[in-house]
Amino acid sequence: MARKSNLPLLLVSYLLGPALVRSCSPLPLVINTWPFKNATEAAWRTLASGGSPLDAVESGCALCEKEQCDGTVGFGGSPDEFGETTLDAMIMDGTTMDVGAVGALRRIKSAIGVARKVLEYTTHTLLVGESATKFAESMGFITEDLSTDASRALHSDWLARNCQPNYWRDVIPDASKYCGPYKPKPHSILKQEDPTYKEKDHCGHDTIGMVVIHKTGHTAAGTSTNGIKFKIPGRVGDSPLPGSGAYADDTAGAAAATGDGDVLMRFLPSYQAVEYMRQGEDPTIACRKVILRIQKYFPNFFGAVICANVTGNYALGLSFPSLTFCVTISAFQSISRSTTAGSH
Ligand SMILES: *[C@@H]1O[C@H](CO)[C@@H](O)[C@H](O)[C@H]1NC(C)=O
Ligand SMILES: *[C@@H]1O[C@H](CO)[C@@H](O)[C@H](O)[C@H]1NC(C)=O
């Protein structure tokens, strides 16, 4: 039956348990990492007005880019070592397995929009850096400075703190005390050091990852982020990598990840979650198993995965139970009479 606008929806933004929780089943379903409700709602409205799952993911992530969700998506956030903000984004069609993505995109605000153009107008999957900017311009996007007073202030504070924190290790001068430029430490004195950057701010948001399941069961997923603060220029995280930042496959489900991208991307967590669901695991277990696999190697990594199967059940898996109090997901879902909306 034609459901109108956004009325029959359930908006749940909850604090979920360690490896998660819940679900009612009805489709369509829109979920995204973090309490970025406006993004969830934008995606929902797109579906309600007849848009495809891909359109919904694009409009949801685009809204976050515009609202600069928590400074971690879109322009004006996460300056790199040179003070520049660059963007990563990806969009995936779980029906056709088409993907478009951009990494380290410069001077273009709408990363998810450019990713969509990569999907639609090329047979490539991922474009990066200055060349991705040229591609975007050819698609009609305008170039603008992505810096803001806020990002300039973040960067100058960082310089004033001797470039702390940063992501270098085993270099001279000692990266835990000084700014670069750095050179490799001679082998004679080489010992594995941890990078100076210990991510303490686990409640800090990063990256929107979104999953949409259409009422027909068609799936799409996507991400958008400005990466991590004070990254080494050129660093691209997990977000624009299919299978890592997000993955969708109509025959199994869809997933998206958030957290320490440099670790996450080594495990293709979104792909892995979808594969677990394909093997019959429910979303809760799929999410949890993905986190456990990573924790075997990186017990202290920070991350979360959202998993949804094609019948609209979904879950959130977290690397630490303590994250329960800060990691949330935002979800819109049709309410069916048989479910107990709000009891989760
Ligand atoms: C969400 O949208 C409302 C209405 O447009 C706006 O007032 C609010 O600031 C937005 N929230 C965020 C976090 O940007
Ligand atoms: C989705 O997960 C729910 C909860 O585990 C399960 O009952 C349902 O059968 C799953 N759907 C599919 C298509 O596997």
The model's pLDDT over 255-277, given as tens digits with 9 standing for 90+, comes to: 999 999 999 999 999 999 999 99
Read off the tokens for 251: 């025959």
How many angstroms does the Cα of residue 235 sit away from the middle of ligand 1?
Answer: 30
Higher pLDDT, 200 or 116: 116
pLDDT for 146 beyond 80: yes
CA 237-107-178 angle, to 5 degrees, is 55
The pLDDT confidence band at residue 43, using thresholds 50, 70 and 90, is very high
Place of tokens 């047979």: 123
pLDDT for 23 beyond 50: no
How many angstroms does the Cα of residue 22 sit away from the middle of ligand 2?
Answer: 11
Q: Which domains does the chain have, with CATH numbers?
A: 9-145+201-328 (3.60.20.30)
How many angstroms does the Cα of residue 74 sit away from the middle of ligand 1?
Answer: 15
Four-CA torsion 212, 335, 340, 344, nearest 10 degrees: 30
Residue 313 CB–ligand 2 contact under 6 Å? yes
How many angstroms does the Cα of residue 38 sit away from the middle of ligand 1?
Answer: 6
pLDDT for 71 beyond 90: no
pLDDT for 164 beyond 50: yes
The model's pLDDT over 170-212, given as tens digits with 9 standing for 90+, comes to: 999 999 999 999 999 987 666 665 554 555 455 666 789 999 9
Q: Find all residues with CB under 8 Å of 128, minimum gap 6, and list them.
A: 102, 103, 104, 105, 236
Residue 38 CB–ligand 1 contact under 6 Å? yes
Give the pairing type, strands 246-249 and 253-259.
antiparallel
Ligand nearest, relative to CA of residue 25: 2
How far apart (Å, rounded) are the C-alpha atoms in residues 20 and 303? 13
Rounded average pLDDT over 147-151: 97
pLDDT for 12 beyond 90: no
pLDDT for 129 beyond 80: yes
Q: Which residues pair with 89 in a beta bridge?
A: 102, 224
The pLDDT confidence band at residue 337, using thresholds 50, 70 and 90, is very low
Q: Catalytic: 328?
A: no
37 CA closest ligand 1 atom index? 1
pLDDT for 7 beyond 70: no
The model's pLDDT over 232-247, given as tens digits with 9 standing for 90+, comes to: 999 999 999 999 999 9
DSSP string, 40-107: HHHHHHHHHTT--HHHHHHHHHHHHHHHTGGGTSSTTS---TTS--EEEEEEEETTTTEEEEEEEEES
**Residue located nearest, by CA, to atom 9 of ligand 1:** 67
Higher pLDDT, 7 or 257: 257
The residue annotated as part of the active site, out of 85, 207, 258, 324, is: 207
